[in-house]
Amino acid sequence: MYVVGTFVQPSVYAGRRVVFDAQVLSIEGVGPVDVRTVPGYAASGQFAYADATARAWTENAVQTSNAAYSGAAAPRRAGALPMPWIAAIATVVVVAGVVIAIAMSRPAREPTPNPPVTPW
Protein backbone atom coordinates (compact mmCIF):
# COMPACT_ATOMS: atom_id res chain seq x y z
CA MET A 1 0.00 0.00 0.00
CA TYR A 2 1.32 3.43 -0.96
CA VAL A 3 0.05 6.48 0.95
CA VAL A 4 -0.48 9.41 -1.42
CA GLY A 5 -1.60 11.91 1.21
CA THR A 6 -4.22 12.92 3.76
CA PHE A 7 -7.31 15.12 3.60
CA VAL A 8 -7.20 18.14 5.92
CA GLN A 9 -9.77 20.69 7.16
CA PRO A 10 -12.11 21.99 5.71
CA SER A 11 -12.64 18.76 3.71
CA VAL A 12 -15.50 16.46 4.71
CA TYR A 13 -12.85 13.70 4.48
CA ALA A 14 -10.47 15.41 6.96
CA GLY A 15 -8.07 12.88 8.52
CA ARG A 16 -8.68 10.21 5.88
CA ARG A 17 -5.76 9.03 3.78
CA VAL A 18 -5.69 8.49 0.03
CA VAL A 19 -3.89 5.23 -0.72
CA PHE A 20 -2.89 3.29 -3.82
CA ASP A 21 -3.28 -0.44 -3.20
CA ALA A 22 -3.90 -3.38 -5.57
CA GLN A 23 -3.98 -0.99 -8.55
CA VAL A 24 -6.83 1.04 -6.96
CA LEU A 25 -6.62 4.61 -5.68
CA SER A 26 -9.03 5.08 -2.80
CA ILE A 27 -9.97 7.16 0.21
CA GLU A 28 -9.63 4.93 3.26
CA GLY A 29 -13.03 4.03 4.64
CA VAL A 30 -14.85 5.64 1.71
CA GLY A 31 -13.88 3.90 -1.51
CA PRO A 32 -12.23 4.40 -4.91
CA VAL A 33 -11.40 7.90 -6.10
CA ASP A 34 -10.44 9.17 -9.54
CA VAL A 35 -6.81 10.30 -9.52
CA ARG A 36 -7.77 13.37 -11.55
CA THR A 37 -9.66 14.80 -8.54
CA VAL A 38 -6.70 14.73 -6.14
CA PRO A 39 -4.81 17.77 -7.52
CA GLY A 40 -8.02 19.82 -7.25
CA TYR A 41 -8.36 18.95 -3.56
CA ALA A 42 -4.69 19.86 -3.03
CA ALA A 43 -5.09 23.18 -4.88
CA SER A 44 -8.10 24.10 -2.71
CA GLY A 45 -6.17 23.34 0.49
CA GLN A 46 -8.25 20.28 1.41
CA PHE A 47 -5.51 17.71 0.76
CA ALA A 48 -1.84 17.39 1.77
CA TYR A 49 0.49 15.12 -0.20
CA ALA A 50 2.58 12.66 1.84
CA ASP A 51 5.76 13.89 0.13
CA ALA A 52 7.16 15.22 -3.13
CA THR A 53 7.28 11.71 -4.59
CA ALA A 54 3.55 11.29 -3.98
CA ARG A 55 2.84 14.63 -5.66
CA ALA A 56 4.97 13.69 -8.70
CA TRP A 57 3.36 10.24 -8.90
CA THR A 58 -0.13 11.80 -8.80
CA GLU A 59 0.73 14.34 -11.51
CA ASN A 60 2.13 11.55 -13.69
CA ALA A 61 -0.98 9.40 -13.07
CA VAL A 62 -3.22 12.35 -14.04
CA GLN A 63 -1.33 12.80 -17.30
CA THR A 64 -1.51 9.07 -17.95
CA SER A 65 -5.20 8.91 -16.99
CA ASN A 66 -6.21 10.46 -20.27
CA ALA A 67 -5.42 7.02 -21.70
CA ALA A 68 -5.98 4.90 -18.57
CA TYR A 69 -4.45 5.38 -15.13
CA SER A 70 -5.28 1.97 -13.71
CA GLY A 71 -1.90 0.62 -14.83
CA ALA A 72 0.15 3.30 -13.08
CA ALA A 73 2.55 1.73 -10.63
CA ALA A 74 3.16 3.27 -7.24
CA PRO A 75 6.74 4.41 -6.71
CA ARG A 76 8.94 1.82 -5.06
CA ARG A 77 10.39 2.55 -1.63
CA ALA A 78 14.18 2.80 -1.44
CA GLY A 79 15.69 -0.65 -0.95
CA ALA A 80 12.54 -2.52 -1.93
CA LEU A 81 12.92 -5.50 -4.24
CA PRO A 82 11.07 -5.27 -7.55
CA MET A 83 8.19 -7.73 -7.84
CA PRO A 84 9.83 -10.07 -10.43
CA TRP A 85 12.71 -10.71 -7.99
CA ILE A 86 10.30 -11.54 -5.19
CA ALA A 87 8.50 -14.02 -7.44
CA ALA A 88 11.80 -15.60 -8.52
CA ILE A 89 13.01 -15.97 -4.93
CA ALA A 90 9.68 -17.48 -3.86
CA THR A 91 9.82 -19.95 -6.76
CA VAL A 92 13.34 -21.09 -5.82
CA VAL A 93 12.32 -21.58 -2.18
CA VAL A 94 9.24 -23.62 -3.15
CA VAL A 95 11.17 -25.81 -5.62
CA ALA A 96 13.93 -26.43 -3.07
CA GLY A 97 11.31 -27.41 -0.49
CA VAL A 98 9.66 -29.87 -2.90
CA VAL A 99 13.02 -31.45 -3.82
CA ILE A 100 13.93 -31.87 -0.13
CA ALA A 101 10.49 -33.31 0.68
CA ILE A 102 10.78 -35.87 -2.14
CA ALA A 103 14.31 -36.84 -1.08
CA MET A 104 13.25 -37.27 2.54
CA SER A 105 10.18 -39.36 1.68
CA ARG A 106 12.14 -42.11 -0.10
CA PRO A 107 13.19 -45.07 2.04
CA ALA A 108 16.89 -45.48 2.64
CA ARG A 109 18.52 -48.14 0.45
CA GLU A 110 19.98 -51.17 2.14
CA PRO A 111 23.73 -51.45 1.64
CA THR A 112 24.83 -54.25 -0.65
CA PRO A 113 26.53 -57.04 1.24
CA ASN A 114 30.21 -57.58 0.57
CA PRO A 115 31.11 -60.93 -0.97
CA PRO A 116 32.83 -63.28 1.44
CA VAL A 117 36.57 -63.03 1.46
CA THR A 118 38.42 -66.30 0.72
CA PRO A 119 41.67 -66.70 2.56
CA TRP A 120 44.70 -67.90 0.48
Q: pLDDT, tens digit, for every residue of 75-110?
A: 555 555 555 666 777 888 999 888 888 878 877 677
49 against 120, higher pLDDT: 49
Q: The whole model's pTM is what?
A: 0.54
Query: Could you tell me the residue ranges of all domains in the chain?
Result: 2-71, 78-106
Whole-angstrom distance, CA of residue 86 vs CA of residue 80: 10
- Residue 66 predicted with pLDDT over 70: no
pLDDT of residue 69: 41
Whole-angstrom distance, CA of residue 59 vs CA of residue 66: 12
